[in-house]
Amino acid sequence: MDVTTTDSEDTMSVQGKAIIVTGASSGIGMATVQRLAEHGARIVFGARREDKLEELAGLLPSGRYAYAATDVSNFDDVQHLVDLSVERFGKVDALFNNAGIMPLSTLSEGKRDDWQRMLQTNIMGLLNGISAVLPVMHRQGYGHILATGSMAGYNLYPGAAVYCGTKFAERAIMEGLRREEHGNGIKTTYVAPGMVDTQLYESIGDEARSQEVVSAWHEHNHSLTPDDIARFVEFAIAAPERMVINEVSIRPLAED
Ligand code: NDP
């Protein structure tokens, strides 16, 4: 997508912006890193699988990126990404909090370890990102914090109560952040995708359940590609200073 407008005052571009992306080793995060880097952004990215980050780095223009093995549930790891951006590029224009997992089970199964991992990754990961980057954005007087939410942040599905809970919580946190920080020049965006064809479905944990979910959804819907979401993220970050897209849902046309 070409997001360059014809209005000379409103040339929408991510060129030269310093952007941090979490969950960059696959899916939406990886596609977003590639798209933003191709269009001239400086990218700092992280996830736990360092080999995948290294492969991704091999596809990017040299000198315009930095990466580090990152577990978003660990505040120091996330702080390190923020520090990398400031050291290498002198600023943080945007932080895309995208890392997430979706182990599914019914509440009666009592999979407390899975729930704990989900809370730590999806909710604490977001909070760690906000907490690490806000001081920098306050100093700058501007910045943009984005989060990958989900349609599961609006709807409840049996067998996904805890995952939905984390995505509802992310939406609440992002709306709270908007209310607290818009006066400080900080933009917030909660992007809620419908089904996107990624490895997320492998994190369901139970192969039979994973097959069931994927085939039921594939039967009715054509899923989006990770780059479909990346296009929106680029658009949101490139928007003129006066404009912010706070919340958006992006579904496959066939999804109900
Ligand atoms: P993927 O599984 O392809 O990507 C998830 C990414 O998150 C991976 O890079 C993974 O890397 C990373 N990640 C997981 N746990 C951690 C952690 N503790 N610390 C750092 N990184 C972590 O799935 P998607 O691209 O689909 O998922 C991205 C986001 O999109 C998630 O928040 C998900 O909830 C959301 N989403 C996805 C939808 C879909 O249909 N695919 C629909 C709606 C929302 P690694 O394992 O290397 O750490």
Give helix 226-238 / helix 27-38 axis angle, nearest 10°: 50
The confidence score (pLDDT) of residue 75 equals 98
How would DSSP label each residue in 53-117? HHHHHTTSPTTSEEEEE--TTSHHHHHHHHHHHHHHHS--SEEEE---------GGG--HHHHHH
Which atom of ligand 1 is the closest one to the Cα of 121?
A: 18
Q: State in Å: Cα 256 to ligand 1 middle.
A: 23
Cβ-based neighbours of 218, under 8 Å, separated by 6 or more:
none
Would you give the end-to-end CA distance of the chain in angstroms?
Answer: 26
Per-residue pLDDT of the chain (256 residues; tens, 9 = 90+): 445 444 444 678 999 999 999 999 999 999 999 999 999 999 999 999 999 999 999 999 999 999 999 999 999 999 999 999 999 999 999 999 999 999 999 999 999 999 999 999 999 999 999 999 999 999 999 999 999 999 999 999 899 999 999 999 999 999 999 999 999 999 999 999 999 999 888 888 877 777 777 776 666 667 899 999 999 999 999 999 999 999 999 999 988 7
Ligand 1 centre to CA of 121 (Å) is 9
pLDDT at 3: 52
Please tell me the pTM assigned to this model: 0.95
3-state helix, strand, coil in the chain (%, to 5): 50, 15, 35
The per-residue pLDDT for range 42-52, each reduced to its tens digit, is 999 999 999 99
Q: How far is the CA of 7 from the centre of ligand 1 (A)?
A: 36
Measuring from atom 2 of ligand 1, which residue has the nearest CA? 200
Strand partners, 46: 22, 68
Q: Which of 20, 26, 146 to mutate to test the pocket of ligand 1 (most atoms within 8 A of CB)?
A: 26
The whole-angstrom separation of Cα 56 and Cα 50 is 10
Q: How far is the CA of 12 from the centre of ligand 1 (A)?
A: 27
**16-32, pLDDT tens digit by residue?**
999 999 999 999 999 99
The closest alpha carbon to 254, from 181, 195, 199, belongs to 195
Residues tagged active-site: 163
The preferred substitution site among 20, 48, 157 for testing ligand 1, maximizing ligand atoms within 8 Å of CB, is 48
Question: What residues line ligand 1, using a CB cutoff of 6 Å?
Answer: 22-29, 47-49, 52, 70-73, 98-102, 121, 148, 150, 193, 195-196, 198-200, 203, 226
**Cα-to-centroid distance, 100 and ligand 1 (Å):** 4
Atom 32, ligand 1: residue with shortest CA distance: 100
Tally of CA atoms within 13 A in the half-sphere of 157 that contains its CB: 15
